[in-house]
Chain A
Amino acid sequence: EAGVTQFPSHSVIEKGQTVTLRCDPISGHDNLYWYRRVMGKEIKFLLHFVKESKQDESGMPNNRFLAERTGGTYSTLKVQPAELEDSGVYFCASSPPLGTQYFGPGTRLTVL
């Protein structure tokens, strides 16, 4: 069974540019989550989808971040415009209704 996949693995952009991260969950998992770890800080929750609906977006830092999950399959997280403090590792996870969250390998974002 394929795990959670994320693309790209690394992204380097300049301040003010736009970046879109993609996550493909484990097949059949309705729950999809985004987390991030910025430099020196702990891994923080961003938001949670159930199918295509946003269940909890309490962790989204500001309106420069937009997450979508059209059709309830893969999800994208867009940062527009990117700022220096957005640099870090962005993780995606998926899970069945109850139980283990399985994490993807992460996307390392560097904003110069």
Chain B
Amino acid sequence: GIQVEQSPPDLILQEGANSTLRCNFSDSVNNLQWFHQNPWGQLINLFYIPSGTKQNGRLSATTVATERYSLLYISSSQTTDSGVYFCAVGPAGGYNKLIFGAGTRLAVHP
């Protein structure tokens, strides 16, 4: 089945710094979502981005489907950005199920 790899596994930042999280996947996809898991364990939708580029405030994401990767950019990080960021992909032809990566754990210190 499709493999999803996220990097880095852990990231520590000072408040105000920028960061890039990466998601590589091993096969064609028809869905790609980025999530932020907050300290209460809730999965918050950030982007639905099977291809192209989107921006939402300090966050933006780019997926290059032909090269099988997606990037999540966080600019001017804040302590509230801390948590785990998950990339999840829907394999092409795999109905709608999402395959999750292991996540990137981000800690933003003041």
Contact = CB atoms under 8 A, between A and B. Distances in A.
Nearest to A106: B41
Interface residues on A, range: 20 to 34
B45 A105 contact: no
A44 B66 CA distance: 25
Given A100-B48, A105-B41, A106-B41, A48 B97 contact: yes
A35 B96 CA distance: 12
Interface in A39-98: 42-45, 48, 55-56, 58-59, 89, 91, 93, 95
A108 B101 CA distance: 20
Q: Dominant SS at the A interface?
A: strand
Contact of B33 (A31, A55, A101, A106): A101
A95 B35 contact: no
Interface in B44-74: 45, 48
Contacts of B43: 91, 103, 106
A56 to B, nearest CB: 5
Contacts of B31: 101
B13 interface: no
Contact of B96 (A42, A48, A102): A48
B99 interface: yes
A103 B45 CA distance: 8
Contacts of A43: 86, 88, 100
Nearest to A46: B97
The 7 closest A-B pairs by CB, nearest first: A100-B48, A103-B43, A43-B100, A45-B97, A56-B95, A105-B42, A42-B100
15 contacts: A43-B100, A45-B98, A48-B95, A56-B95, A56-B97, A89-B41, A93-B98, A100-B48, A101-B96, A103-B35, A103-B45, A105-B40, A105-B42, A106-B42, A106-B43
